[in-house]
Structure formats: C-alpha cells, structure tokens
Amino acid sequence: MKSKDLIRFAASAIAAHPMRSALTSLGVVIGVAAVVMMTSIGLGAQQRVMSAISGLGSNLIIVSPAASRSGFAAQAAGSDISITGADAEAIAKQVEGVAAVAPTVRGQAQLAAEGTNWNSRIEGVTPDYLVARDLTIGQGRMFDDREARQGRTVAVIGTTVARELFGEADPLGKRIRVGSSPFQVVGVLTSKGQSGFGQDQDDIVLGPLPAVRSRVVGRRVKGDTVQTIYIKAASEDDLSRVQEDATTLLRERHRIREGEDDDFQAQNMASILQASQAATATFTILLAAVAAVSLVVGGVGIMNIMLVAVTERTREIGLRMAVGAKRSDILIQFALESVALSLAGGILGLLIGIGGALLIAKLGSWPMAIPSWAAPLSLGFSMAVGLVFGAYPSWQASRLDPIEALRRE
C-alpha cells in the first residue's frame, strides 16, 4: 500500500471527529504554547539582564557590603555597612591597574525647583564616578575634587531631572532643593536612556560625596562609610587581578583573619554574568521539566483517545484486515493518526506561543526573543510524543484477531 493512502486514511479519521480531535490535541497545544512563550520571555529577560550588566560600565568591579553575621543570625546584605571612603582611597593608591575608584552613597530625595517637584535618586560621588560608570557630561561641567572636599553643594543632574524641573529652560546655575538642602546645578549628564533593568538612567542627581552624605543620606550612612565602591580596571586583562588585589587589601584593612568570610562582596561583570547564566540554566531546567510534564499530559490524552478509537473502530480494523491490510498497515495508520494529532497540536501551540509572547512583549514592554530552536524543537517533540503515546494503541490495533474484530458490535 502507498504511504499517501496511509496519510489519507489517518487524515479522514481525524476529520471524522473534528471536535474530539481538537480536544485531544489541546494538551499538546497548551504544552508547546507554554514552553515557547516561557522560553521567549526567558530569553528576552536574559538579554535584558545582559544589556543591564554591560550598561553598568565596562571593566567594572562593584564592591558592596556583605551581610554581616551577629551570632548565628545572618543579616541582610548591607545591614551593617562596612566599606568606607578610606577603603576607596587605599584601593586607588595601592592597587595596580586601576583606572578609577568611585565610592558612592545614595538615597532617594524629593527635589524642588522653581515651584515644581520631582522625586529622584541622588548619589553622592567623586568626580571619578563618571569614568567608572562610563558617563559623560553633556552640558556644563562635573564638580571637581576640591569642591567635593569643601563640601560644596553643587550637583550634576540627569536629563530626566532637568526636563521635569526646568522644562526647556537652561538648568545651569539654577538652584534646586534636594530634600531640605539647596544645591546648585553645574552640569547635565549626557542621556543614557533606559537601563536593561527598566530603570531610567537619566533620572538621577549626582552631588559631591561629603555634601550628599551629610545633608541628604546622613542618617543612614555613618561616619566615612559608603554603600558602594565602583572600581574600574584599566583593561579587561587587569579585571580579575584588580579584583583579587582589592579583595586582599580590603581584608587586610578590615582585619579579617584567614578562613573568615569577607564582610564585603566584590563582583565584577564576569561574575555577575556568570551568576545570571547560572540563573538562566536553572530556569532552563525548570522549563524543560514543565515542558516534559505538559507534553506527557498531552501525550496521555492522545493515548487515551487513541485507545478509545481502537475500541470504537474494532470492526473497521477487522474489515481492513479481511480485505488485505497487513498488521503493519494497521499499525502505521493508527500511529500516523496519533502523530498527526500531536503534530497539529504542536504547530498550533507554536503559533499560539509566539503570538502570546508577542502580546506580552507589547503589553508589558518586556523584551522578547523567540529562540531559533523553538520551532524545530517543539515540532520534533510533539511528533515524538505522538509516536511514543500512539505506539501502544497502534500496536493493540495491529494485534487484533480479524475474526473477533469483525464480530464486535
């Protein structure tokens, strides 16, 4: 018998019960759609994280306080701030291959100027901050070290802040109130747009570290402590060595004995990238598990209906055998039916999954990337599901005794 006739038989059997066939495929449709949607969103999220990480600045090491332990109770990271401006200075002086070191404090503050209000992030920084974070001044200037040391209340603002407070007017030389302290605007940053984390990077105010610490975030940051030290290595090759040297130096300065945990954490982009990749790997495993479960559920649905079909069509099978169908012809016919049901579900699921991912991307302004393997993999898997779960019913059909089968009512 010819294969196109087998396909025709399978198609006509499926078409004979359109509703039942559709419901049978539904399990696979949902499974494949869910997997495609989730991988697309997951991949989009991963790309967003990647761009966010690279948006922090190149060759960057971020030092932040670690969770300290009091007794046996681990406290939240940063609960006892342990890094200081002096640490930053020491790193700048003693570690080779450092392009910039920028100790930073930050807070959220209400801004006011010329009768308008805006709530923004304020960071207390040193001029090196621009170098460390790959920022540039678009208008005016950055405050210098002398101004910083003198505790001058000058500020460089992001373009979002400039627009919200001053509209089209020139903000240079204007005064803004940060919390309750007046600052003078000396510069505007070049726009950087939205970060990969969805944060508006232009919605920021930079002020000299001493002034911001004492006037804006004072209560939360004691003494000389800072929340973050950004270290920019001179080159990518220096990155890991700089991180090691800085870690060693900080351990010495903090008198951490051999074997004790750091009271700070130093991460570079590579390690953050690694962490995010580990998270992605976990996500992928999870996804594979969900996919496997949903495809098995879909497959069991197909197997169930195929068993019903074999019982229902026992006489048909007997008749086919009587007029000359070989056992293998029956086997292939039913296996094809099962694969066709599953594959149709897979194709529909793929389309729904892509559509759903597009919709979510559009509604949630969430980046979306449909992985190139989504189509071949989901179609391959749905075919395999049809084959595996159709195998037993098809085999049963092919083993029927034609005499018994013809006698069945």
Partner 1 sequence: MIAFRDLKKTYQMGDETVAALAGVSLSFPRGSYLAITGPSGSGKSTLMNILGGLDRPTSGQYLFEDEDVSHLDDDGLAHFRNQRIGFVFQSFQLLPRYSALQNVELPMVYAGIEVKERRERAAEMLAKVGLADRRHHRPTQMSGGQQQRVAIARSLANNPDLLLADEPTGALDSSTGKDVMALFEQLNSEGLTVILVTHDANVAARARRRVGFRDGLIVSDEGAKS
* Distance in angstroms (rounded) separating the CA atoms of residues 335 and 304: 13
223 binds partner 1 (CB under 8 A): no
For 268, list phi and psi in degrees, rounded to 5. Answer: -110, 175
* Distance in angstroms (rounded) separating the CA atoms of residues 142 and 138: 10
- Residue carrying the six token digits 């400039």: 162
**Closest separation in Å from C-beta 11 to partner 1:** 11
Site stretch for partner 1 (CB under 8 A), options 38-46, 199-207, 230-238, 322-330 = 322-330
The answer for residues whose C-beta is within 8 angstroms of residue 45's C-beta and 6 or more apart is 366, 367
281 binds partner 1 (CB under 8 A): no
- Residue carrying the six token digits 């010329």: 114
391 binds partner 1 (CB under 8 A): no
**Closest separation in Å from C-beta 9 to partner 1:** 8
336 binds partner 1 (CB under 8 A): no
402 binds partner 1 (CB under 8 A): yes
> Of 16, 34, 35, 13, nearest to 339 (Cα)?
13
Say if residues 39 and 357 touch (Cβ distance below 8 Å): no
> Among residues 121 and 327, whose Cβ is nearest to partner 1?
327
312 binds partner 1 (CB under 8 A): no
> Of 123, 127, 107, nearest to 205 (Cα)?
123
Q: Which of residues 12-71 bind partner 1 (CB under 8 A)?
A: 12-13, 16
* Distance in angstroms (rounded) separating the CA atoms of residues 307 and 304: 5
Q: Which runs of consecutive H residues, i.e. helices, occur in 56-119? A: 85-94
DSSP 8-state assignment for residue 325: -
> Among residues 76 and 323, whose Cβ is nearest to partner 1?
323
**Closest separation in Å from C-beta 1 to partner 1:** 5
* Distance in angstroms (rounded) separating the CA atoms of residues 241 and 104: 22
Q: Which runs of consecutive H residues, i.e. helices, occur in 206-265? A: 209-215, 239-253
Considering only 144, 200, 224, 329, the residue that binds partner 1 (CB under 8 A) is: 329
11 binds partner 1 (CB under 8 A): no
308 binds partner 1 (CB under 8 A): no
Site stretch for partner 1 (CB under 8 A), options 48-56, 76-84, 191-199, 311-319 = 311-319
Say if residues 189 and 157 touch (Cβ distance below 8 Å): yes
**Closest separation in Å from C-beta 310 to partner 1:** 15
**Closest separation in Å from C-beta 397 to partner 1:** 14
The answer for residues whose C-beta is within 8 angstroms of residue 55's C-beta and 6 or more apart is 192, 195, 196, 201
**Closest separation in Å from C-beta 327 to partner 1:** 6
**Closest separation in Å from C-beta 7 to partner 1:** 12
**Closest separation in Å from C-beta 4 to partner 1:** 8
Amino acid, single-letter form, for residue 75? Q
**Closest separation in Å from C-beta 304 to partner 1:** 21
Considering only 99, 270, 297, 319, the residue that binds partner 1 (CB under 8 A) is: 319
325 binds partner 1 (CB under 8 A): yes
For 112, list phi and psi in degrees, rounded to 5. Answer: -140, 135
Site stretch for partner 1 (CB under 8 A), options 89-97, 225-233, 293-301, 319-327 = 319-327
> Of 365, 352, 349, 72, nearest to 200 (Cα)?
365
Considering only 67, 78, 316, 384, the residue that binds partner 1 (CB under 8 A) is: 316
DSSP 8-state assignment for residue 224: T
324 binds partner 1 (CB under 8 A): yes
* Binding interface with partner 1 (CB under 8 A): 1-2, 5, 12-13, 16, 315-316, 318-329, 402-403, 406
